[in-house]
Amino acid sequence: MKTSTSSPRVWTVAETPVAELEHVCFSYDGERVLDEVSLRIARGDFLGIIGPNGAGKTTLLRIVLGLLRPSCGHVRLFGTDVAQFRDWQRVAYIPQKAVAFEARFPASVFEVVMSGRVRLAGLGRRFAAPDYEAARRALETVGMLPFRDRLIGQLSSGQQQRVLIARALVSHPDLLVLDEPTVGVDADAQEQFYSLLHRLNREMGTTLVLVSHDIGVISQEVTQLACLNRTLVFHGSPEEAMRSGALAEMYRAQSWMVAHRH
Amino acid sequence: MPEILQYGFMQRALLAGAMIGTIAPVIGVFLVLRRLSLIADTLAHVALAGVAVGLLLGAYPVAGALVAALLGAVGIERLRTVGRLSGETALAIFLSGGLAVAVVVIGLAGGFNVGLFTYLFGAITAVQPRDLWVILILGLVVLGAVAVLYKELFAITFDEQGARVQGLPVEGLNLLLTVLVAVTVVVAMRIVGILLTSALIVIPAVTALRLARNFRSALWMAVACSLVTVLAGITASFYLDIPASGAIVLGGILLFAGASLLGPRR
C-alpha cells in the first residue's frame, strides 16, 4: 500500500519526478518519429498528451513503459533508468480497448482483473486473500462488482473499459498510463470515465498520463498539457496553452480535432 | 467385463488415450487463444524428423521425436523474438524443413517401413508398457508446469503487452509454452499420429471456447470434450474395426459441430 497518499504531501523542488524524459528520439526504419523530446512528469500530475495522427504519441507511451528502447536520450521512472527499472507494479497501462483482447476470449470480469495482480502475487505462487480483496475493491471503485462473473466479451465497450481500469488499479499503481482509452466508448460512459480519472488523480493521488485526440475534454480535466508533433510543441498548464495560443494553433492547423468533436 | 477391457493392449490403449486426452486440450486452449495453433502442427512435423532419425539409428523413436521437437521449439521462439521473421513465416519454414529432413532420412534408410507408418497415423494398440511410463512422466511435466504458472500463462494469453508492462518475463513464458507444446506433441503422436496430433490439441479447445463462461471452465470443458472423444474413438475403433486416430478426430469434429449449433449464441 502507498503511504504517500494518506499524509498531506509536501512539495519540494528536489522531489524525484515520476517519469523523466531527456532528449528522447525514436526512429522507425530510419524515419524520425520522435525528436528531442524532454518532459518531466511530477507526482500527482494529470498529464494530457495531444497531437495529430502519427505525431508519435503512442510511441512516446511505449518508450515510457519500457516496451520500446529510445534511439537516443534517457528515460527515468521514479529516478531509475528505464532499462534498469524493476518496480513495474508501480506502473499500470490501459491500452486502447480495441487492441487489448479478443471479443470471444473466455475470461470472466474477475479473472481479467486478477490478471493485473500476477506480478505482485509472485511468480509461480497462488493468489492469496489480499489479491482477491484488491480485485474486489478495484471492481467496486469502477462500479463493476455486480458484473464480476460475466464474460468480458459480453459487456459494452464502456463497461469493458472500466474493467480494464480495475485491472490497472488492482496493483495500486503510482503511475497510470492511458492510450486513447475512450475510443469506441459512448458519451455517457465517457463522462463516467473522466470523473473516475478525476477521483483517482485528486483523491488517491495517482499520477496519470493520458493520450487523447479529444482536446476539449482533455483540456478541462488535465493539470498539464503536452502538445506533441514529433517534437514537443508545448508543455504547460492548459490555461497557459490557451493563453499562448498553442491550443488555438493546434485547432487551426488540424482538422482531426474538429472531426472528433460532436 | 466388457470385451474391450479383456485385452492388455486395449487396456493400455485406453489408459494412454485418457492421459493424452487430458494433456493435449489444456495446451490447446492456450494455443488457440494466442492464435498459435499452427505451432502444434509445425512441431509435429519437426518431431517426425526425429522419429526418422531414431528409426535410422535404431534408437527409441520417441526419444528422437522429443529431442527434435524441443530443438524446434527453441528455434521457433528464437526466430520469433529476434523478430527477423514473422511468427507465421518461422512456422512455415520449420514445418516444411522438418518434413524435408524426415523424407531425406527415410530415403537414406531405404524407404518407408511399417514402424514409421505407426508414427504417421498413430497406433494406439501398439502402445507398450514403456510408452505408458513415458506418457505419464511427460504428461505430469506439462500439467505441473501449467498448474504452477497458471496465472502467468493466463496473463500473457489474455494481453501479452499488459503482461510485459507488469514486468512478467514474457519471453521466458513464451518459450516455456512452446516447449510444453513440443512435449505434448510427442506424447500425442503415439495415439493419433503426427499427422493428426494438432487436431487432438486444437479441436477440443475450440469446442470448449464456444461454451465456457470463464477461463478455468474453458480448460475443464476442453479436457472433458477431449476425454469423451478419445475414449469413444478408441472404443469405436475396437468394435467397428476402424483406425482409432481417425475415429477420435472425427468424433471431436462432430462434438465441435454440435457445440456450435446448440451452444449459446455470442
CB contact under 8 A, B167 and A115: no
The distance of B72 to chain A (nearest Cα, Å) reads 26
Is the pLDDT higher at A139 or at B115? A139
- Residues of chain B neighbouring A127 (CB-CB closer than 8 A): 151
The C-alpha cell that represents A176 in the structure block: 497510470
Residue numbers in A near B33 (CB within 8 A): 102, 105-106
Interface membership of A127 toward B (CB under 8 Å): yes
Task: Supply angle C-alpha B176, B181, B187, rounded to 5.
Answer: 130
Report the domain count for chain A. 1
Which tops the pLDDT comparison, A86 or A184?
A86
Inter-chain CB pairs, A–B, below 8 Å: 91
Whether chain B has a CB inside 8 Å of the CB on A155: the answer is no
Q: pLDDT tens-digit profile of A13-39?
A: 557 899 999 999 999 888 888 888 999
CA distance A231 to chain B (A): 25
User: Which chain B residue shows the shortest CA-CA distance from A89?
Assistant: B166
Provide the 8-state DSSP code for A145. G
Q: For chain B, what percent of residues have pLDDT higher than 70? A: 96
How far apart, in whole angstroms, are the C-alpha atoms of residue B97 and residue B111? Answer: 19
List CB contacts (< 8 A) between B214 and chain A.
Answer: 106-108, 110-111, 149, 151
To the nearest whole Å, the CA of B26 is away from the closest chain A CA by: 14
Are A77 and A85 a contacting pair, CB within 8 Å? yes
Instruction: Taking residues B241-258, report their average pLDDT.
Output: 92
Q: What is the pLDDT of residue B182?
A: 94
- Residue A14 maps to a domain: no
Contact A132, A94 (CB under 8 A): no
Q: What value does the mean pLDDT of chain A take? A: 83
Q: Name the β-bridge partners of A25.
A: A72
Handedness of CA A141, A144, A148, A152 (dihedral sign): negative
Residue A253 falls inside a structural domain: yes
CA distance B90 to B145: 25
Q: Which residues lie below 8 Å from residue A234, measured CB to CB, with a gap of 6+?
A: A225, A226, A227, A241, A244, A246
The predicted model gives A111-131 an average pLDDT of 93
Q: Kindly state the DSSP code that residue A10 receives in the 8-state scheme.
A: P
Cross-strand pairs, B256: none
Q: What was the pLDDT predicted at A257?
A: 46
SS3 readout for A80-117:
EECCCCCCHHHEEEECCHHHHCCCCCCCEHHHHHHHHH
B167 contacts A88? CB cut-off 8 A: yes
B81–A contact, CB cutoff 8 A: no
Residue A250: predicted pLDDT = 67
> Would the CB atoms of B152 and A123 count as touching at under 8 Å?
yes
- Dihedral pair phi/psi, residue A20, rounded to 5°: -145, 125
- The H-or-E segment that residue B166 falls in is none
Specify the 3-state DSSP secondary structure of A44: coil
The verdict on A95 touching B (C-beta cutoff 8 Å) is yes
- Check CB contact under 8 Å for B215 and A171: no
Confidence of residue A101 (pLDDT cuts 50, 70, 90): low
CATH number, residue A151: 3.40.50.300
DSSP A12: -
Q: What is the distance between the alpha carbons of residues B216 and B218, in angstroms, rounded to a whole number?
A: 5
- Give B40-56 pLDDT, tens digit per residue: 999 999 999 999 898 88
Q: What is the mean pLDDT of residues A63-78?
A: 91
Q: Is B145 on the interface with A (CB under 8 A)?
A: no
Full residue range of the structural domain in which residue A80 is found: 19-260
- B172 part of contact set with chain A, CB < 8 Å: no
- The enclosing H or E element of B190 equals helix B170-192
Mean pLDDT of chain B, nearest integer: 89
- What percent of chain A stands above pLDDT 90? 37
Instruction: Return the domain boundaries, chain B.
Output: 3-260
Instruction: Look at residue B230 and tell me whether its pLDDT is greater than 80.
Output: yes
pLDDT in tens, A176-211: 999 888 777 777 778 888 888 888 899 888 999 999
Task: Give the mean pLDDT of B212-225.
Answer: 95
Whether the CB of A196 is below 8 Å from some CB of chain B: the reply is no
DSSP A45: -
Judged by DSSP in three states, A25 sits in strand
In a domain, A1, yes or no: no
| Contact between A127 and B154 using a beta-carbon 8 Å cutoff | no
pLDDT of residue A238 exceeding 60, the answer is yes
Amino acid A254: pLDDT? 54
Band the pLDDT of B112: cuts 50, 70, 90.
low
- Please tell me if residue B165 touches chain A, with a CB cutoff of 8 Å: yes
Q: Does residue B82 register a pLDDT over 80? A: no
Q: In terms of Cα–Cα distance, which of B252, B258, B255, B259 is closest to B210? A: B259
Most confident of A24-33, A118-127, A209-218: A118-127
Q: Which of the listed CATH numbers 1.10.10.370, 3.40.50.11270, 1.10.3470.10, 3.40.47.10 matches domain B3-260?
A: 1.10.3470.10
* CB within 8 Å: B152 and A149: no
Q: A10 in a domain, yes or no?
A: no
Q: What is the pLDDT of residues B148-195, one digit of tens each?
A: 999 999 999 999 888 998 889 999 999 999 999 999 999 888 778 887
Residue A151: list chain B partners with CB under 8 A.
213-214, 266
Restricting to A residues 28-67, those with a Cβ less than 8 Å away from any Cβ of B are 65-67
A153 Cβ under 8 Å from any chain B Cβ: yes
With beta carbons less than 8 A apart as the criterion, state whether A82 and A76 touch: yes
Q: Give the residue-averaged pLDDT of B135-149.
A: 95
CA dist A8 and A117 (Å) reads 28
Q: Is the Cβ–Cβ distance between A168 and A94 less than 8 Å?
A: yes
Q: Which residues pair with A93 in a beta bridge?
A: A177
Q: In chain B, what residues touch A90 (CB-CB under 8 Å)?
A: none
